């Protein structure tokens, strides 16, 4: 691995240890809901968290649930000015704040 990817792989992204029980995640959003990304789940693999960050799903970013697939999964979200499809498994990794 190069120096740069070494650096990148050591990036830290905080999770919320002191969060409220049963936090709201992106997987809980309904069609048209807007929310702000707060943090990432506790048990999520660090590589997944860094990838979500690099996809623009960063703390403070605004997300909007656009639509679900006919079989309920995956789900299309609008975040960082573009649309991305995530499966519920990944969406559950991202904690959001619905109050806007």
Partner 1 sequence: MRHPKAVALHPERVAGEPAAVRWVVPAGIVPSGRVVAAPGRLGGLLADGTLTAALAEHAAVWLWLRDGLTWREHGRAIGAALRQALAEPRDWVVEPAPAEVLSRVTADVLDGSVGDFVASHGGAVAVHRVDDDVVAVELGGACKNCPAVDDTLRQRLLQQLCRRCPDVTEVDRTGGRLLLTLGVRPASG
Partner 2 sequence: MTGHHHGGGSVADTAGLRRFAVVGSPNSGKTTLFNALTGLHAKTGNYPGVTVARFEGTMRLGDQTVAVEDLPGTYSLDPISPDEQIVVDVLDTKHHADGVETPDALLVLLDATTLRRSLGLLAQMLQTELPICVVLTFTDDLTRRHGRLDTAALSRALGVPVVAVANGQRNAVSALRQAMSDVDSWSSPVVPPPTATAEVTAWVESVLIAADYQVPDVDVRTRRIDAVLLHPVLGTAIFVMTMFVFFQTIFTVAAPLQDYVEQFFGWLGELVAMWVPIPWLSAFLSEAVIGGVGGVLVFLPQIMLLFVLIALLEGTGYMARAAFLMDRVMAPAGLEGRAFVALLSSVACAIPGIMATRSLPSAKDRLATIMGVPLITCSARLPVYILLIGMLFDSADRVGPFSAQGLVMFALYLFGAISALTVAAIFKRLTAGTGPVLPFYMEMPPYQMPRLQSVAAAVTTAATAFLRKVTSIILATTVMLWVLLNLPPRSDAELAAASVDTSDDAAVSAFVIDHSYAASIGRAVEPVFDPLGFDWRINVGILSSLAAREVFVATLGQVAAAQNPDEPRDSLAKMRVETGPDAGRLLFDPPTIAALLVFFVYALQCMSTVAVMRRETGTWRWPALAWVYMFVVAWLMALLAHTVVASIR
- Give the integer Cα–Cα distance in Å for 24 and 5: 32
17 binds partner 2 (CB under 8 A): no
Task: With CA atoms as reference, report the closest residue to 85 among 96, 72, 98.
Answer: 72
Nearest one of 26, 32, 30 to 57, comparing CA atoms? 26
Residue 39 in contact with partner 1, rule: CB under 8 A: yes
Single out the residue of 30, 60, 99, 100 in contact with partner 2 (rule: CB under 8 A): 60
Which is nearer to partner 1, 16 or 73 (by Cβ)?
16
| Interacting residues with partner 1 (CB under 8 A) | 14, 16, 36, 38-39, 59-60
């Amino acid at each position: 691995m190069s120096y740069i990817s070494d650096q990148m792989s050591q990036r830290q992204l905080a999770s919320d240890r002191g969060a409220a029980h049963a936090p709201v995640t992106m997987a809980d959003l309904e069609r048209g809901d807007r929310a702000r990304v707060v943090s990432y789940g506790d048990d999520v693999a660090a590589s997944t968290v860094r990838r979500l960050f690099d996809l623009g799903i960063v703390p403070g970013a605004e997300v909007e649930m656009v639509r679900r697939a006919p079989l309920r999964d995956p789900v299309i979200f609008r975040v960082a000015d573009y649309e991305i499809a995530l499966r519920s498994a990944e969406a559950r990794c991202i904690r959001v704040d619905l109050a806007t």
